[in-house]
């Protein structure tokens, strides 16, 4: 199994304790140390993308070859990683990458606008505003004659593509890949970091060391509740990970339950922005309850195996400082994550630490029969820092190209430089609790997150009753609704 290791030197101009070691252990891999301090919509417009000077820089292809590239980006100005087609397509990382590779000569004009034609695949996707230092993308690329000549790290191809990319996106390396490689299926562990202003969780600048340690200990106790394998259906848009209902199914639950289920689904599918629903006059406006128990099966709100995720580590480190601002870094490591999952985990943990939600909401929200509305934390301070890769059907076998991408000192040095010069300065802007995105988000969180006690008590009571009536199900997490 491969583990990316990123080391970033401490800057002389700021106290940056991001250069730390994260150690985690799980049943699938030996103890691992992660170190860090850290891409037009149709082919008919391709010729318009190339200026005369750019056409001169376009390489001449001699063959088509599957490759894998390691990409880093600052996501603040983009709608996310995955490309969006259509008349009103918004700027995405993959959109910028596709244009740049076309201009460099890596994509034929006849294939531009359809990533399926070139076998495009990614190790993971990131939400709007999320950053990355370790996204792996594979594709069938048009290859020039100079590819990898005295260049085992694939820097020459990467530099040609980078010439057409904005400064906030960078291809670190492009290497030849085996035809069977699938970056999503072979990425076994994904590691993210979330930087949180210390003031948001009640740690003041005037606190003594013992007071700081106490608050960090309480917060870590909250975070570790996410570790293990659980259904995280309340932490995502459930419908995106649900099989469509059987044809002709009318539902077995009561009419009122089905209406509530439908409303709750619509609410999840429309969540954007701060992700916190306004609770004022919600009863009068007919909003569904914030917390409820699904007493009877509802085919339109089914929880399946795809809602279960395994989290190996969710912990925060010691108090750190950047540009004079105190913050904590939360390390989240898991097999895979769903849309908004990490941000809802962070929003819920913050709400519990601020006393807006009870501590047992962590357990209640991870029960497959519960349906609970949870807050969505800002995306601006979340970034992907590393991956593990393994050939699933051949345990112990490592792909040479992935060994190079995650372990090469030269590539890691480029990643360090990109982090220091592009990502870190931007992250520093988001660590002031009195400025965007925290100022308005905290106000909304404090005002609208609380769940009525009678709704929580109904969930608690239903959970106790379910355990008493079905004791054999207590350890069976995969009984479907």
pTM attached to this predicted model: 0.81
Report how far residue 187's alpha carbon sits from residue 4's, in angstroms, rounded to the nearest whole number: 11
pLDDT above 50: residue 226: yes
Does an H or E element contain 364, and which? helix 361-364
Which pLDDT score is estimated for 332? 98
Cβ atoms of residues 456 and 357 within 8 Å: no
Which pLDDT score is estimated for 472? 59
Asked about 278 being catalytic, the answer comes back as no
Cβ atoms of residues 340 and 264 within 8 Å: no
Q: How do residues 175-186 score in pLDDT, each as one tens digit?
A: 999 999 999 999
Would you give the DSSP letter of residue 379?
Answer: S
Please state the rounded mean pLDDT for residues 445-467.
Answer: 95
Phi, psi (deg, nearest 5) at residue 176: -65, 145
Residue with tokens 């009318």: 250
Cβ atoms of residues 291 and 373 within 8 Å: yes
Q: How do residues 415-443 score in pLDDT, each as one tens digit?
A: 999 999 999 999 999 999 999 999 999 99
Choosing from 127, 199, 274, 298, the catalytic residue is 127
Which pLDDT score is estimated for 27? 38
Q: How do residues 229-273 score in pLDDT, each as one tens digit?
A: 999 999 998 877 766 655 554 444 433 333 333 333 323 333 333
Secondary structure class of 55 (helix, strand, coil): helix
Lowest model confidence (mean pLDDT) among 119-123, 194-198, 215-219, 391-395: 391-395
pLDDT above 50: residue 33: no
pLDDT above 90: residue 363: yes
- Measure Cα distances from 452 to 45, 291, 300, 357, 376 in Å: 55, 8, 25, 10, 19
Which pLDDT score is estimated for 49? 55
């Amino acid at each position: 199994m491969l583990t990316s290791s990123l080391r970033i030197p401490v800057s002389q101009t700021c106290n940056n304790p991001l250069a730390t070691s994260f150690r985690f252990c799980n049943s699938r891999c030996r103890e691992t140390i992660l170190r860090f301090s850290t891409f037009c919509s149709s082919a008919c417009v391709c010729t318009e993308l190339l200026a005369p000077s750019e056409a001169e820089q376009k390489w001449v292809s001699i063959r088509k070859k599957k490759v894998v590239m390691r990409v880093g980006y600052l996501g603040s100005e983009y709608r996310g990683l995955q490309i969006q087609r259509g008349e009103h397509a918004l700027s995405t990382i993959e959109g910028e990458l596709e244009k740049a590779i076309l201009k460099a000569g890596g994509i034929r004009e006849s294939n531009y606008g359809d990533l399926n034609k070139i076998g495009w695949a990614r190790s993971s996707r990131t939400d709007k505003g999320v950053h990355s230092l370790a996204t792996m993308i594979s594709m069938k690329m048009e290859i020039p004659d100079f590819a990898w000549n005295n260049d085992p790290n694939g820097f020459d191809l990467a530099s040609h593509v980078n010439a057409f990319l904005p400064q906030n996106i960078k291809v670190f390396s492009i290497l030849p890949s085996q035809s069977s490689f699938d970056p999503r299926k072979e990425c076994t562990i994904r590691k993210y970091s979330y930087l949180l202003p210390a003031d948001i969780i009640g740690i003041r600048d005037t606190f003594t060391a013992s007071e700081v340690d106490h608050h960090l200990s309480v917060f870590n106790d909250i975070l570790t509740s996410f570790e293990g394998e659980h259904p995280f259906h309340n932490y995502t848009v459930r419908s995106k990970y649900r099989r469509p209902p059987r044809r002709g199914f009318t539902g077995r639950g009561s009419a009122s339950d089905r209406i509530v289920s439908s409303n709750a689904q619509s609410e999840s599918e429309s969540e954007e922005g701060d992700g916190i629903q306004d609770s004022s006059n919600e009863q009068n406006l007919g909003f569904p309850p914030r917390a409820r128990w699904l007493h009877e099966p509802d085919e339109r709100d089914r929880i399946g195996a795809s809602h279960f995720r395994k989290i190996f580590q969710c912990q925060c480190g010691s108090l750190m400082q950047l540009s004079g601002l105190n913050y904590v870094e939360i390390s989240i490591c898991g097999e895979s994550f769903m849309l908004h999952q990490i941000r809802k985990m962070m929003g819920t943990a913050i709400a519990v630490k601020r006393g807006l939600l009870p501590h047992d909401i962590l357990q209640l929200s991870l029960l497959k029969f519960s349906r609970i509305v949870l807050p969505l934390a800002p995306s601006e301070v979340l970034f992907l820092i590393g991956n593990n890769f393994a050939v699933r059907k051949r345990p112990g076998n490592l792909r040479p190209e992935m060994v190079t991408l995650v372990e090469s000192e030269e590539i890691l040095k480029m990643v360090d430089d990109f982090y220091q010069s592009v990502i870190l300065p931007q992250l520093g802007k988001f660590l002031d609790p009195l400025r965007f995105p925290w100022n308005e988000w905290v106000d909304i969180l404090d005002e609208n997150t609380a769940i009525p006690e009678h709704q929580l008590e109904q969930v608690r009571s239903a959970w106790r009753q379910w355990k008493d009536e079905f004791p054999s199900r207590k350890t069976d997490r995969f009984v479907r609704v």
